[in-house]
Amino acid sequence: MPQTSQILLIDDELESCKALSLLLGRAGYTVEIRHSGEKALSLLKKQSFELIISDLFLPGVSGIDILKQVKEDSPQTCVILITGNASAETAVEAMKEGAFDYITKPFNFEKLKLQVAKALEKSRLLLENQYLRQQLRGRYRFDNIIGTSQAMQQVFTRMERVVNTDSTILILGASGTGKELVAKAIHYNSPRKDKPFIAINCGAIPADLLESELFGHVKGSFTGAVVDKPGKFEIANGGTIFLDEIGDMPLQLQMKLLRVLQEHEFERVGSSRKIRLDVRLISATNVDLAAQVKSGKFREDLYYRLNVIPITLPSLKERRGDIPLLARYFLEKICKEMHRPLMSLDQDAFSAIETYEWPGNVREMENVIERTVALTDGDTITCNDLPFDIGKARNALPASAPQVTSEGVDMNQVIADIERQMILQAIQLGNGVKARAADLLHINRTTLVEKIKRLGMEL
């Protein structure tokens, strides 16, 4: 048994307390003793314990009082109550208030030692779960979704308004824009944050298995159903379920989902028993659901049920001003995860990343930077270290005017594209200082600012 296990022993019978402390110490535990409830509570304000063993009937502050305070201040700490005056009523009250166990004197020490080991194991699991939940909340804070562009600020505003509601949310956006990240951020900042977040990709599961995956099944309901199995909705009860690629859900299953949303209950496949449901639904899609409704591929009534609060995520090319922020964020994050010194992008590599179209959006950028960090020697990333398609984007600025063909050419658009790329390069060379960028372009700073506004650039 680890020496670090900390136990607080509370008993006003000095000899009994001393004997039990000695036995626990020999078993490998570190034991702190207090002979009154008041002194124990005073100690608990300064120090935490994995386990508390307390006599139930103490003068003044009782064992039940200590139990209630511990469960309020430190729910992961287990409490074992011991008494020489057993009664069914006190045992029931103790367990109802959250005691791990209730033991009567005289007790068998080997049995108590077994209960202590079980209580400590439960305490560690609860502490680990609490730590993991805190890690998840930290990972999915709003400020971990990177973006200062106007489009992303609108997303943040919408998220903040819905986070404390139970409204159904539909997240729209192209693949790789971060739809699941937004869904998790909403969940882990909501009142449901301590309950499950369950995600399922409706397009990744065969249609004949999706119903069972969502709602579960009972043994014998179909070939291969050898045991009862809960579905994702049942597992998510009390929390949030995230249905990604909802546009790929078969029509027959759309009807059942609609009924579940209306009635707040469902049955497992092959069962008629109703299961009550308390879950927040967040769905997402990269297709135009309104167009799917018009073509008959998606139920109109379900669409309106899902689309209570829409959140539209912009593609990366619609928020180019966020590209430098994202690149630096992913570079720092991935270097840290790989235990490497912080790497940097040279000017050409940075320009290539800014110029590239990023059809796979934020997910593509993160994957590219992860691959580049893993495969690059040294501390500086160059264009040669980037994938070819991205590295060649550095040379996307045309050396001469494009040829005019028989179909014609949109001269204003061509000029705007050239100006945009030149401004991006100048801003990079000027380390983000607009006055320096204007000098490099041989124009006034006010002229540069006007061009940035006219071109709709977010810098």
Indicate whether 118 and 204 sit together in one domain. Answer: no
Per residue in 209-243, pLDDT (tens digit) is 899 999 999 888 888 888 888 999 999 999 999 99
CATH code, 91: 3.40.50.2300
Per residue in 73-117, pLDDT (tens digit) is 888 888 998 887 766 677 777 788 888 888 887 778 888 888 888
Higher pLDDT, 441 or 281: 281
For the cut 60, the answer to whether the pLDDT of residue 134 exceeds it is: no
Give mean pLDDT, residues 384-409.
Answer: 68
Indicate whether 174 and 280 sit together in one domain. Answer: yes
Return left, alpha or beta for 457; rule: phi > 0 is left, psi -120 to 50 is alpha, else beta.
Answer: beta
- Does 77 reside within a domain? yes
Amino acid at 263: E
Give the other-Cβ count within 10 Å of 414's Cβ: 13
- Does 459 reside within a domain? no
Indicate whether 83 and 223 sit together in one domain. Answer: no
Indicate whether 149 and 165 sit together in one domain. Answer: yes
Give mean pLDDT, residues 173-180.
Answer: 94
Q: Collapsing DSSP states into helix, strand and coil, what is residue 168?
A: coil
User: Tell me, what's the pLDDT at 135?
Assistant: 57
Q: What tokens were used for 142?
A: 């709003």
Q: What tokens were used for 371?
A: 């691959």
Indicate whether 196 and 310 sit together in one domain. Answer: yes
Indicate whether 402 and 445 sit together in one domain. Answer: yes
Indicate whether 434 and 371 sit together in one domain. Answer: yes
Give mean pLDDT, residues 16-44.
Answer: 88
Indicate whether 160 and 102 sit together in one domain. Answer: no
Indicate whether 360 and 296 sit together in one domain. Answer: no
Give the torsion sign (CA, 256, 260, 266, 272).
negative
User: Tell me, what's the pLDDT at 140?
Assistant: 64
User: Tell me, what's the pLDDT at 454?
Assistant: 84
Last residue of a domain, one of 136, 170, 193: 136
For the cut 80, the answer to whether the pLDDT of residue 161 exceeds it is: yes
User: Tell me, what's the pLDDT at 416?
Assistant: 81
User: Tell me, what's the pLDDT at 1?
Assistant: 38
- Does 153 reside within a domain? yes
Q: Is the distance from CB of 181 to CB of 326 less than 8 angstroms?
A: no
- Does 11 reside within a domain? yes
Q: Collapsing DSSP states into helix, strand and coil, what is residue 243?
A: strand
> Rounded to an integer, what distance in angstroms lies between the CA atom of residue 360 and that of residue 367?
10
Give mean pLDDT, residues 185-208.
Answer: 91
User: Tell me, what's the pLDDT at 334?
Assistant: 95
Indicate whether 161 and 266 sit together in one domain. Answer: yes
Amino acid at 327: A
SS (H, E, C) 294-362: HCCCCCHHHHHHHCCEEEECCCHHHCHHHHHHHHHHHHHHHHHHCCCCCCEECHHHHHHHHHCCCCCHH
Instruction: Provide the terminal-to-terminal Cα distance of the chain, rounded to the nearest Å.
Output: 58
Give mean pLDDT, residues 315-342.
Answer: 91
Last residue of a domain, one of 109, 136, 163: 136
> Rounded to an integer, what distance in angstroms lies between the CA atom of residue 170 and that of residue 305?
10
Structural domain that includes position 324? 318-454
Last residue of a domain, one of 265, 296, 314: 314
Give mean pLDDT, residues 24-46.
Answer: 88
Mean pLDDT, rounded, of the chain: 86
> What's the total number of domains in the chain?
3
Of 246-255, 286-295, 378-387, 429-438, minimum mean pLDDT range: 429-438
Indicate whether 283 and 196 sit together in one domain. Answer: yes
For the cut 60, the answer to whether the pLDDT of residue 396 exceeds it is: no
For the cut 70, the answer to whether the pLDDT of residue 405 exceeds it is: no
Indicate whether 271 and 233 sit together in one domain. Answer: yes
| Highest mean pLDDT pick, 107-116, 334-343, 381-390 | 334-343
CATH code, 325: 1.10.8.60
Q: What tokens were used for 373?
A: 């960090």
pTM above 0.85, yes or no: no
> Rounded to an integer, what distance in angstroms lies between the CA atom of residue 79 and that of residue 220?
43
Give mean pLDDT, residues 411-421.
Answer: 81
User: Tell me, what's the pLDDT at 200?
Assistant: 94
Q: Collapsing DSSP states into helix, strand and coil, what is residue 201?
A: strand
